[in-house]
């Protein structure tokens, strides 16, 4: 008789004191959900296009024989309707979005415009760079305004990018089905910081010079790529063939570094960032618009719904 | 190929080897007269003369020699070194590196900042390597 389970203990396991469902039932339920997910995932192995990961990155084709799908294809076309045909009313409330993504993009436009104008007066050479900055500040018509617009917009863009990211975290907008767009956004954040960093050196003043000296000194310690980092010396890296050398075009922050910084700042990174931005905006549409809270109904609409029900 | 393109074969940087006069030109203590041109300091003690490469071992700024406090102080993050370049405050992980020195036939000091002697934390102290050229006995 000692082997038979204590009826009291069994009861405790099957029915919790504070919950209607027992512990066993809960575990069973959890196991069931887990099994379903596992089955779904296993299906993905036979056809990767069916997985959530695939659907979050690539376009999915709809059944073209359905006229509703065909009209949907037109309405959700990002080129035909840059703004969505309809949006969640709450998704455009400023307290919800802060408008940070839009402001960031606006600042990018400002920076592109003022940056191109600055290029008319700036030479990326050791002899001219700092002199051109002084020239812009004191002699070029509207030069001071131009430079300060570029400078302040740059500072602001870094801040608004972070705030945009913060907002996305707070509203849980990184979750399914937007996980791919979150990744695109993280890449854009890195590109924004790189734009900021490369632009820092361009005035060729003490501040920028030492900032880039410090920044690229960190690159020495990159694992596998820097000559002072883990596995660097074992891979035969020296100060003359590692990642820092490739970034600076030399072993010191000199004219090559200034020129490279200029090209990455004005052409390389903005180009890549623009492509990522296009994908970023397109994905917002494809993932169902700006992520928002559950739709709130107007009183009139609520009556309509209750009428229908009765 | 794409990566190789960004690594130039030749670079127009100042030569790492240069002459800085004879040992008699230097009195005991730190001499900063080559800092601007070659990024080095010449330190002479009672029996040794060596050349400190003026690069902070934290993140590579050039420290300042504070004669009144008898120390090197890095303006970037505050690392401090004594007159022989040994770190004693701030984030610097090791003493400042020393450049290779030798005497040529005319008795001039030849410095090579391409060959540096280090004393990493927990590592071997290369500063006493007289044969290798870590210092000149005077």
Whole-angstrom distance, CA of residue A239 vs CA of residue A250: 9
CB B90 within 8 A of CB B99: no
Q: B8 contacts in A (CB within 8 Å)?
A: 249-250, 256
- Per the CB < 8 A criterion, the answer to whether B27 and B42 are in contact is no
Pair A75, A81: CB distance under 8 Å: yes
Residues of A with CB under 8 A from a CB of B: 210, 213-214, 217-218, 241, 245-247, 249-252, 254, 256
- pLDDT tens by residue, A93-112: 788 888 899 999 999 999 99
CA distances from A94 to A87, A157, A168 (A): 14, 18, 13
Class of residue A146 by CB neighbours under 10 A (exposed 0-12, middle 13-18, buried 19+): buried
Chain A neighbors of B61, CB-CB under 8 A = 210, 213-214
Nearest to A254 by CA among A295, A213, A195, A221: A213
CB B59 within 8 A of CB B80: no
pLDDT digits (tens, 9 = 90+) for A159-203: 999 999 999 998 888 887 788 999 999 999 999 999 999 999 999
Are the Cβ atoms of A251 and B3 closer than 8 angstroms?
no
The residue of chain A nearest to residue B6, with distances taken between CA atoms, is: A246
Q: Quick one: A100-286 is in which CATH superfamily? A: Cytochrome Bc1 Complex; Chain C (1.20.810.10)
Q: Which CATH number is correct for B26-137, 3.30.499.10, 2.102.10.10, 3.40.50.620, 3.90.320.10? A: 2.102.10.10
- Tell me how far apart the alpha carbons of residues A3 and A22 are, in angstroms, rounded to a whole number: 23
Interchain contact, A218 vs B59, CB within 8 Å: yes
pLDDT for A15: 47
Interface contact B8-A241, CB threshold 8 A: no
Provide mean pLDDT across the span A239-257: 91
Q: pLDDT at position A1, please? A: 43
Quick one: pLDDT band at residue A215, thresholds 50, 70, 90?
very high
Decide if pLDDT at A208 tops 90: yes
ipTM rounded to 2 decimals: 0.79
The per-residue pLDDT for range B42-90, each reduced to its tens digit, is 999 999 999 999 999 999 999 999 999 999 999 999 999 999 999 999 9
B103 touches chain A (CB under 8 A): no
Question: How would you list the strands of the sheet with B64-66, edge to edge?
Answer: B64-66, B71-73, B80-81, B87-89
Q: In whole numbers, what is the pLDDT of chain B averaged over residues?
A: 91
Position A19 confidence tier, pLDDT thresholds 50, 70, 90: low
Q: Helix axis angle, A269-286 relative to A100-119, nearest 10°?
A: 160
Condensed to tens digits (0 to 9), the pLDDT of residues A117-129 reads 999 999 999 999 9
User: b vs e for B30-52, b when ≥16 Cβ sit within 10 Å of the residue's Cβ?
Assistant: bbeebbeebbbbbbbeeebbbbb
Average pLDDT value for residue range A253-270: 95
Secondary structure (H, E, C), chain A: CCCCCCHHHHHHHHCCCCCCCCHHHHHHHHHHHHHHHHHHHHHHHHCHHHCHHHHHHCCCCCCCCCHHHHHHHHHCCCCCCCCCCCCCHHHHCHHHHCCHHHHHHHHHHHHHHHHHHHHCCCCCCCCCHHHHHHHHHHCCCCHHHHHHHHHHHHHHHHHHHHHHHHHHHHCCCCCCCCHHHHHHHHHHHHHHHHHHHHHHHCCCCHHHHHHHHHHHHHHCCCCCCCCCCCCCHHHCCCCCCCHHHHHHCCCCCCHHHHHHHHHHHHHHHHHHHHHHHHHHHHHHHHCCCCCCCCCCCCHHHHHHHHHHHC
| Confidence grade of residue A262 (pLDDT, cut at 50, 70, 90) | very high
Each domain of chain A, given as residue ranges in start order, spans 7-46, 100-286
Cβ contact, residue pair A249, B6, below 8 Å: yes
Contact A251 B61 (CB under 8 A): no
Query: What pLDDT score was predicted for residue A42?
Result: 74
What is the domain partition of chain B in residue ranges? Answer: 26-137
């Amino acid at each position: 008789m000692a082997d038979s389970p204590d009826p009291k203990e069994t009861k405790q396991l099957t029915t919790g004191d504070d919950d209607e469902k027992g512990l066993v039932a809960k575990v069973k339920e959890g196991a069931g959900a887990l099994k379903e997910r596992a089955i779904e995932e296993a299906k993905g192995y036979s056809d990767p296009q069916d997985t959530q990961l695939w659907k979050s990155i690539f376009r999915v084709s709809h059944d073209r024989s359905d006229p509703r799908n065909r009209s949907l294809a037109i309405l959700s076309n990002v080129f035909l309707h840059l703004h969505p045909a309809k949006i969640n009313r709450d998704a455009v409330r400023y307290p919800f979005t802060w408008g940070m993504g839009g402001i960031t993009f606006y600042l990018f436009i400002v920076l592109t415009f003022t940056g191109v104008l600055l290029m008319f007066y700036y030479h990326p050479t050791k002899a001219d760079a700092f002199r051109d900055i002084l020239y812009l500040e004191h002699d070029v018509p509207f030069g001071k305004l131009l430079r300060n617009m570029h400078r302040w917009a740059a500072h602001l863009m870094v801040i608004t990018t972070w705030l945009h990211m913060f907002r996305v975290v707070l509203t849980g907008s990184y979750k399914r089905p937007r996980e791919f767009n979150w990744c695109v956004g993280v890449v854009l954040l890195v590109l924004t910081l790189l734009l900021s960093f490369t632009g820092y050196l361009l005035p060729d003043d003490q501040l920028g010079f030492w900032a880039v000296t410090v920044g690229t000194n960190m690159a020495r310690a990159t694992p596998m790529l820097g000559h002072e980092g883990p596995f660097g010396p074992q891979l035969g890296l020296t100060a003359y063939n590692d990642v820092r050398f490739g970034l600076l075009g030399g072993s010191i922050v000199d004219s090559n570094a200034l020129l490279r910084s200029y090209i990455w700042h004005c052409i390389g990174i903005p180009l890549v960032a623009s492509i990522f931005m296009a994908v970023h905006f397109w994905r917002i549409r494809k993932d169902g618009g700006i992520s928002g809270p559950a739709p709130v109904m107007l009183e009139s609409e609520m009556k309509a719904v209750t009428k229908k029900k009765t | 190929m794409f990566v190789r393109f960004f690594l130039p074969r030749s670079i127009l940087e100042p030569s790492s080897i240069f002459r800085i006069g004879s040992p008699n030109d230097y009195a005991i203590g730190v001499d900063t007269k080559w800092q601007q041109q070659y990024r080095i300091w010449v330190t002479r003690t009672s029996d040794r003369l060596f050349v400190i490469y003026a690069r902070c071992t934290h993140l590579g700024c050039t420290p300042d020699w504070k004669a009144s406090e008898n120390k090197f102080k890095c303006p970037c993050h505050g690392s401090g070194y004594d007159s022989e370049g040994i770190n004693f405050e701030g984030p610097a992980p090791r003493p400042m590196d020393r450049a290779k020195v030798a005497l040529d036939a005319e008795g001039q000091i030849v410095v090579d900042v391409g060959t540096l002697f280090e004393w990493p934390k927990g590592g071997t102290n290369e500063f006493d390597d007289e044969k290798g050229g870590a210092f000149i006995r005077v």
